[in-house]
Structure 1
Amino acid sequence: MTTPRLPGRLGEVQIDGGLPRREDLGLVFDELDYQLATQAYLWSLPLVSYAQWQHEHREVFGATNSDLVAYVSYRDRLGIITANATTPYIMTLIRLSETGPLVIEMPAGPVAGGVSDFWQREFGVMGEMGPDQGKGGKYLIVPPGQEPPTTDGYNVLHSTGVNLFFGFRTLDPDPDRSRALVAQVRIYPYEQRDNPPPTRVVSPDGKSWSGDQPRGLDYWVRLHDIYQSEVVDERDRFHLAMLRQLGIEVGQPFAPDERLTGILTQATEAGELMARANAFAKRFAGSRYWPDRQWDLAIVLDNPAQRGPHYDELLERASWFYEAVTFSTAMKSQTPGVGQAYLGSYTDQNGDWLDGGSSYTLHVPADVPAKLFWSATVYTADTRCLIDNEQQRGDRGSRDPDVVHNDDGSVDLWFGPTAPEGKESNWVQTIPGQHWFSYFRFYGPLQPYFDRTWKLGDITTN
């Protein structure tokens, strides 16, 4: 009987009478740990993403549980995975293990926000789409397993995690009124309600920072650190068994030996390669939006709970949270004129990766079905963040007054390392040696988007 050659480390194992040689057992266990680590990488992407962002908030910006961070300028947003380059972000990442029950006060006015756990599952909506309906109100966030100390005067939200993300946008286009609304948001522990600490609004202030998942052993350091306080969902107990085999365990230090360090480092490289293929070459049924175009639904998750009809959306979740952060019901709106819609293109019209050294055109037909505005944004494939070009501009859209329209109302956008003559206002600069991809966003998508009677052009090689 001939034993077939096995892949990876197992190809070096010699089989004797159906069993591996005793001296080859180390190769078998190395391969087992490697495969566990690659799967744990794909599973933990959303958790490590927020853990990294929380680390940067604290260590780079000096933000506390009671502070907000305002990402306003282009440079502020360079560390956010697939950030919108058009509107500001106001957000923070909080440890309920340090605060206990937490109060968030939302002002009256055009504000929309929400809270999610570190698996990026939304568990509460605030502002115009929340229970206060834009009239302002107090929200009491209760840690997992606890009862609210009171309900009087509060909208009570039961957190699904010990660590949480809170973010919101002001919808008022006037900058002064927008800043005034941000200044009225308050965050403080419930036990300090009689004398709450001030809520500061912190700026990144041009600091270099990164919100994408770290590489190498640092990925596992973040994962270990966050699980020292985070709850374990029932659905994740087998994955925690994998982590235990990899030296990551609640209440124990993370101190991998040389063998395990090498395996974990290789696994992050392989896991990220799998994550990129899973995100940039989507294999999900229905993800291609028009059969004859290269545009995909960027968000392939069905809902914020990440639940399918008889399974949890493991690879769908890995796809979105490798290339982006946060997900709410509004981001995958099915109601004309409400919420947003996101399409992603990772290739040109021929299915080739988009190359920063080449030139491309995107034809945007007239009457884009977006009630509020639309935008096309360029991201660097390596970091999934806004392109850090000399232009310091990563998008073009309907809110840009200098964008030139064709006589029929359509718009031609240009992407490449140099601007086509006379097209500078419609051009986004790309960087030779870097692959890139684009999101096309519809804010307030209208019926022609949903019924697909309006069709966006491909990103076409010039």
Structure 2
Amino acid sequence: MKKIFILISLLFSGSLYAQTGVPVGIDSDSLFNQMDYERLVAAYGDLHPDAAFMALWNSYFKEGSTKQNVGIMETSVDSRHNVLTANSETLYAVHPVNLNKQHGGAVVVEVPAKTLGMINGSGWTHIADLGPFGVDKGKGGKYLITSPDYKGAIPKEYIHVQAQTNTIVWLIRGFVIDNDWKGAAQYLKDNIKTYSLNEAENPPVTTFYNTSESLTVDNKNMDMLYTPKDVFPLIKQYFKLNGVLPKYALLYSHLDDAGLFDGTVSNELLKNAYKEGNKRQLVNTFCNRDKDAVVWEGAKWLWANNVSDEYYNSKKTHHYSSSQHQVWAHQATFTCAAMTRPPKGVGSQYIGAYEDENGAFLSGSNHYSITLPKGIPAANFWSVIAYNAEYRSMVRNAEFKWGASSYTNGIKKNKDGSITLHFSPKKPKGVAKENWIQTNENEGFFIWFRTYSPTEAWYDKSWQMEDVKILSK
């Protein structure tokens, strides 16, 4: 009895640990399990941009992209496609590349004049702007993209950029003039070329396919999305194709200890980790606590890309912001200077409304409205699009209409020149069909406003939108 009393006293006093220096009385398996869980949850967020990138990269190969076959959204994207916060008013050519496997570490992309685009690496990391914000300054040019470990000579006639990852995607946007989508698509087809550097003397023909109409093998329209369950397999794929970059060495080490790469991690632990990781990601995106995310003081409108530049640096500290990188990658794709820090009057700016005027998340069951004051600050065009919250993709509805824009025919203006748009399951009485976006009952959604070539009123904040008004439940 005396021995038991002494042992209990030592355990409670901590003397036993001090004397032995070993974890007596600690369940090591349970503690390792907790450590692995915490690290998996952290990696779900920290590597989320890489998982999101790999999902899109895979989708294009599944759709039909090859070394020479490039996908073009010839008639724009619509709600049948599962694409993160796509804009239906623009035309894109998008191409995934495996630098080492497909091109021996060096690929050439001939960029046409009078286009705008970007080259991104895994995690939506910036490699180069193309067009007015790139080295070619909108005149077009031959870009040579090399892998991180490429050792070959760099010919002088190319604009050379080195990727930080082996997996990359480039995007070139065509400009639609007088609603001539066919002509804009043909211009891209006639002028975009891509081939390996070692094929430059006799390059193979670049071919194209229409991602606006094509169907994948499972008879569904193009799907670039991913579920929480997909995140860890996508993370594994990222490391398999790109190796371990110095910035991810610690994360890789933790995931390796947890058994992610050799498959020894338990399915239950993975499931618990991605469920918790997704919970945190949703909060991060839809409840952004960064004060710099607020567009207008006291308003609910938030910057969609709340960063100071294309490298995801914080507006406040000017250092890398992991949280804001995650916010962007969870709901969008690509980054470039044209989107994050465009000179006045050019480029584009995106803001989002996730809550109504009372701070409640937007529900497709309710009736809301937003009013765009007269003099919308967009020299080129503006657009408003409603996105399904779960998939961050265009709202699907019976009306086959997900937004409104400068190009919307028949949109009605108020007497003061402003435009009021309505969001509800059924068309409200007295509201023009062109001013109504149909939502789905019991489905969360959010709204993005875009301005292309913002005018001075955008920058001096003399033009502001009120918060989303809830009109009925």
Q: TM-score, normalised by structure 1?
A: 0.90
Q: How many residues align?
A: 439
The reply to whether residue 385 of structure 1 matches residue 393 of structure 2 is yes
Whether the 8 Å contact between 1:301 and 1:320 is mirrored in structure 2 is no
Counterparts in 2 of 1:322 and 1:97: CA distance versus 1, 3 Å:
same
Tell me which residue corresponds to 2:45: 42
Tell me which residue corresponds to 1:182: 188
Whether the 8 Å contact between 2:79 and 2:394 is mirrored in structure 1 is no
Instruction: Select the residue among 99, 104, 110 that pairs with 1:105.
Output: 110
Tell me which residue corresponds to 1:409: 417
SS across alignment from 2:42:
helix
Counterparts in 2 of 1:335 and 1:40: CA distance versus 1, 3 Å:
same
Q: Aligned partners of 2:392, 2:24: CA distance in 1, in Å?
A: 45
Tell me which residue corresponds to 1:10: none
Instruction: Select the residue among 221, 226, 235 that pairs with 1:208.
Output: 221
Whether the 8 Å contact between 2:127 and 2:162 is mirrored in structure 1 is yes
Q: Aligned partners of 1:76, 1:227: CA distance in 2, in Å?
A: 32
Q: What per-residue deviation string (whole Å, max 9, x for no partner) do you get for residues 320-341 of structure 1? A: 1111111111112353211111
Q: Aligned partners of 2:187, 2:80: CA distance in 1, in Å?
A: 20
Q: Aligned partners of 2:109, 2:93: CA distance in 1, in Å?
A: 14
The reply to whether residue 63 of structure 1 matches residue 65 of structure 2 is yes
The reply to whether residue 447 of structure 1 matches residue 456 of structure 2 is yes
Whether the 8 Å contact between 2:90 and 2:175 is mirrored in structure 1 is no
Whether the 8 Å contact between 2:409 and 2:434 is mirrored in structure 1 is no
Whether the 8 Å contact between 2:308 and 2:318 is mirrored in structure 1 is no
Higher mean Cα deviation, 413-422 or 22-31? 22-31
Tell me which residue corresponds to 2:246: 234
Instruction: Select the residue among 343, 350, 358 that pairs with 1:342.
Output: 350
Tell me which residue corresponds to 2:8: none
Instruction: Select the residue among 366, 375, 381 that pairs with 1:373.
Output: 381
How far the C-alpha of 1:267 sits from its partner, in A, is 1.0
The reply to whether residue 159 of structure 1 matches residue 163 of structure 2 is yes
How far the C-alpha of 1:318 sits from its partner, in A, is 0.9
Q: Aligned partners of 2:394, 2:129: CA distance in 1, in Å?
A: 27
Tell me which residue corresponds to 2:444: 435
The reply to whether residue 199 of structure 1 matches residue 198 of structure 2 is no
SS across alignment from 1:347:
coil
**Structure 2 counterpart of 1:383, which letter?**
Y
Tell me which residue corresponds to 1:271: 277
Whether the 8 Å contact between 2:52 and 2:123 is mirrored in structure 1 is no
The reply to whether residue 83 of structure 1 matches residue 89 of structure 2 is no
Q: What per-residue deviation string (whole Å, max 9, x for no partner) do you get for residues 294-329 of structure 1? A: 101111122222345474311111111111111111
Instruction: Select the residue among 306, 309, 322 that pairs with 2:312.
Output: 306
SS across alignment from 1:267:
helix
SS across alignment from 1:412:
strand
**Aligned-pair Cα RMSD in Å:** 2.0
Q: What per-residue deviation string (whole Å, max 9, x for no partner) do you get for residues 258-282 of structure 1? A: xx21111111111111111111111
Look at both structures and tell me which one has the larger radius of gyration over its CA atoms.
2
Q: Aligned partners of 1:461, 1:285: CA distance in 2, in Å?
A: 24
Counterparts in 2 of 1:290 and 1:136: CA distance versus 1, 3 Å:
closer
Q: Aligned partners of 1:307, 1:458: CA distance in 2, in Å?
A: 27
Instruction: Select the residue among 130, 133, 140 that pairs with 1:136.
Output: 140
Instruction: Select the residue among 114, 119, 129 that pairs with 1:115.
Output: 119
How far the C-alpha of 1:147 sits from its partner, in A, is 4.0
Percent sequence identity is 24
Q: Aligned partners of 1:168, 1:16: CA distance in 2, in Å?
A: 67
Q: Aligned partners of 1:262, 1:107: CA distance in 2, in Å?
A: 50
Q: Aligned partners of 2:395, 2:107: CA distance in 1, in Å?
A: 36
How far the C-alpha of 1:138 sits from its partner, in A, is 1.0
The reply to whether residue 150 of structure 1 matches residue 140 of structure 2 is no
How far the C-alpha of 1:228 sits from its partner, in A, is 1.2
Whether the 8 Å contact between 2:374 and 2:417 is mirrored in structure 1 is yes
Whether the 8 Å contact between 2:121 and 2:164 is mirrored in structure 1 is yes
SS across alignment from 2:293:
coil
Counterparts in 2 of 1:295 and 1:310: CA distance versus 1, 3 Å:
closer
Q: Aligned partners of 2:226, 2:136: CA distance in 1, in Å?
A: 34
Q: TM-score, normalised by structure 2?
A: 0.88
**Structure 2 counterpart of 1:105, which letter?**
E
How far the C-alpha of 1:366 sits from its partner, in A, is 0.3
Q: What per-residue deviation string (whole Å, max 9, x for no partner) do you get for residues 117-153 of structure 1? A: 1121211122233222332221111111324533232
Whether the 8 Å contact between 2:77 and 2:86 is mirrored in structure 1 is no
How far the C-alpha of 1:417 sits from its partner, in A, is 0.5
Tell me which residue corresponds to 1:291: 297
Whether the 8 Å contact between 1:288 and 1:297 is mirrored in structure 2 is yes
Higher mean Cα deviation, 72-81 or 293-302? 72-81
Whether the 8 Å contact between 2:91 and 2:176 is mirrored in structure 1 is no
Higher mean Cα deviation, 48-57 or 200-209? 200-209
Q: Aligned partners of 1:361, 1:105: CA distance in 2, in Å?
A: 44
Higher mean Cα deviation, 275-284 or 26-35? 26-35
Q: Aligned partners of 1:16, 1:120: CA distance in 2, in Å?
A: 51
Higher mean Cα deviation, 206-215 or 354-363? 206-215
SS across alignment from 2:119:
strand
Q: Aligned partners of 1:366, 1:149: CA distance in 2, in Å?
A: 56
Higher mean Cα deviation, 199-208 or 224-233? 199-208
Tell me which residue corresponds to 2:287: 281
Q: Aligned partners of 2:267, 2:293: CA distance in 1, in Å?
A: 37
How far the C-alpha of 1:76 sits from its partner, in A, is 7.2
Tell me which residue corresponds to 1:9: none
Whether the 8 Å contact between 2:309 and 2:341 is mirrored in structure 1 is no
**Structure 1 counterpart of 2:247, which letter?**
R
Tell me which residue corresponds to 1:92: 95
Instruction: Select the residue among 343, 346, 359 that pairs with 1:351.
Output: 359
How far the C-alpha of 1:231 sits from its partner, in A, is 4.1
Q: Aligned partners of 1:265, 1:62: CA distance in 2, in Å?
A: 32
Unmatched 5+ stretches in structure 2: 1-10, 18-22
**Structure 2 counterpart of 1:167, which letter?**
L
Instruction: Select the residue among 239, 242, 246 that pairs with 2:258.
Output: 246
How far the C-alpha of 1:26 sits from its partner, in A, is 2.4
SS across alignment from 1:57:
helix
